[in-house]
Amino acid sequence: MIRRIRGVVLPERVERTFWIDGERLRTEPPAAAASKHVETVVDGGWLLPGLVDVHTHPGAEGPEDGFDEALLRKHLKAHADAGVLLVRTPGTADRMPAWVDTEADLPRVRSAGRWLATPGRFFPGAGRDIGEDELAEAAVEEATASSGWCKVIGDWRWDEPAVPLDVLKATVEAVHAVGGRVAVHCQTGEGSRNAVLAGADSLEHGMHLDPELLDRMAAQGTAYVPTLSAFAGSVEAWQGREPSARRSDWLDGWRGMVGNVRAAHEAGVIVLAGTDSFPCGTVATESGRLLRAGMPAEAALGAASWTARDWLGLPGLTDGAPADLVAYAEDPTAAPETLGRPQRVILRGRVLR
């Protein structure tokens, strides 16, 4: 059986027809279409490349929990059910098992190996605990053992120093030398600054990021992944606390993250949607938060779809591209509340919904 898809493709806003040829999209009917039944699985509406969550941690619901393969499968299935067909896991308690990214009904996975934590930073024992002098070597090991990414915990407590700039810079250079990429957790001004100056490929959270660094981020290609969803639920609780230096620091950091979303986009920084929260499959909510923070509707949508896919090395809806797409009856840039409820979900050429 040959499957056919027709709809308005985003972001191009051009109506196109595709045929599914195995796991690939084709803009011309394959030769077999002349002799086989053709099933139209999408006829009209809006077509997007599969959604993407660039910061999710399937397999454990807390960094201190053990990594569980059954839970990993459950979490990835929840992503796929919501149309999230590509995920990046920037740090886990263990490396991804061999079956990940081979299961036909589970999202494609770009992993970053184990969290890399230097003394006093991160939950003890949750990641790979190493000394600062071991960080560069360990980062290369994790990047080459995963999907090319590694994740460094660049800072931790709000009132303690971040990983020194020279150490972080040497780490980034070592990983780049083997063709890898570095994600850096940063929630302090120093940590965010060091991540940018070291040339990290992505800032995860970026609390207290100095907006004066946005032009440099844009120039060197450092992406901003604010993970607003992971913080938004705590805002009211922090506001209700007794005044303290820690309360002021957290709330200032939250306001800075939200404000930097629009500023980063306007500066030309790649802003991406990552949830860092549960349940899995909620990247549409993060896209909505980026929209409310000031990103244009199409850019906020792209942050959870075509922009993120391109950043992770996968094309959009073009001839020969992976047949990973979601379809909607309404334009999700005009009706963003529909983003998490696609009418059709197609992954690797298979109709999941």
Query: Are residues 132 and 19 located together in one domain of the fold?
Result: no
Query: Are residues 27 and 59 located together in one domain of the fold?
Result: no
| CB neighbour class for 212 (10 Å; exposed up to 12, middle 13-18, buried from 19) | exposed
Whether residue 310 lies inside any domain: the answer is no
CB atoms within 10 A of CB 198: 23
Q: Which residues pair with 225 in a beta bridge?
A: 204
Whether residue 270 lies inside any domain: the answer is yes
Query: Are residues 153 and 246 located together in one domain of the fold?
Result: yes
Per-residue pLDDT reduced to its tens digit, 292-319: 999 999 999 999 999 999 999 999 999 9
Question: Band of the pLDDT at 37, cuts 50, 70, 90?
Answer: confident
- Provide the CA 194 distance to its chain's centre, in angstroms: 21
Query: Which H or E element spans position 7?
Result: strand 2-9
Whether residue 205 lies inside any domain: the answer is yes
The answer on pLDDT for 66 being more than 90 is no
Residue 298 makes CB contacts below 8 A (sequence gap 6+) with 10, 11, 333
Q: Which residues pair with 89 in a beta bridge?
A: 111
CA distances from 190 to 44, 164, 194, 260, 334 (A): 50, 9, 6, 16, 39
Q: Tell me the residue type at 80.
A: A
The answer on pLDDT for 31 being more than 80 is no
Average pLDDT of span 261-279: 97
* In contact, 295 and 262? CB cutoff 8 Å: yes
Closest CA to 201 of 170, 225, 178: 225
**Residues 141, 162: Cα–Cα separation, whole Å:** 22
Query: Are residues 177 and 31 located together in one domain of the fold?
Result: no
Query: Are residues 209 and 334 located together in one domain of the fold?
Result: no
- Residue 276 maps to which CATH number? 3.20.20.140
CA distances from 17 to 28, 44, 324, 325 (A): 8, 10, 15, 13
Query: Are residues 334 and 247 located together in one domain of the fold?
Result: no
Phi, psi (rounded to 5 degrees) for 6: -135, 135
Per-residue pLDDT reduced to its tens digit, 115-136: 999 999 999 889 999 999 999 9
Query: Are residues 319 and 281 located together in one domain of the fold?
Result: no
Average pLDDT of span 24-51: 87
Whether residue 134 lies inside any domain: the answer is yes
pTM above 0.95, yes or no: yes
The answer on pLDDT for 139 being more than 80 is yes
The answer on pLDDT for 32 being more than 80 is no
Query: Are residues 338 and 206 located together in one domain of the fold?
Result: no
Query: Are residues 183 and 222 located together in one domain of the fold?
Result: yes
**Residues 132, 313: Cα–Cα separation, whole Å:** 31
Query: Are residues 277 and 134 located together in one domain of the fold?
Result: yes
pLDDT of residue 33: 62
Per-residue pLDDT reduced to its tens digit, 156-198: 999 999 999 999 999 999 999 999 999 999 999 999 999 999 9
Closest CA to 87 of 242, 280, 217: 280
Whether residue 161 lies inside any domain: the answer is yes
Structural domains in the chain (count): 2
- Residue ranges making up the domain that contains 337: 2-49+315-351
Query: Are residues 326 and 292 located together in one domain of the fold?
Result: no
| Averaged confidence pLDDT in the chain | 95
Closest CA to 324 of 304, 343, 335, 309: 309
Average pLDDT of span 255-273: 97
Per-residue pLDDT reduced to its tens digit, 76-86: 999 999 999 99
Per-position DSSP letters for 206-242, written without gaps between them: -TT--GGGHHHHHHHT-EEE--HHHHHTTHHHHHTSP
Query: Are residues 183 and 89 located together in one domain of the fold?
Result: yes
Per-residue pLDDT reduced to its tens digit, 197-246: 999 999 999 999 999 999 999 999 999 999 999 999 999 999 999 999 99
Whether residue 70 lies inside any domain: the answer is yes
Whether residue 309 lies inside any domain: the answer is no
pLDDT of residue 137: 98
Beta-strand pair 84-89/51-53: parallel
Whether residue 29 lies inside any domain: the answer is yes
Per-residue pLDDT reduced to its tens digit, 77-114: 999 999 999 999 999 988 899 999 889 999 999 999 99
- Residue 44 maps to which CATH number? 2.30.40.10
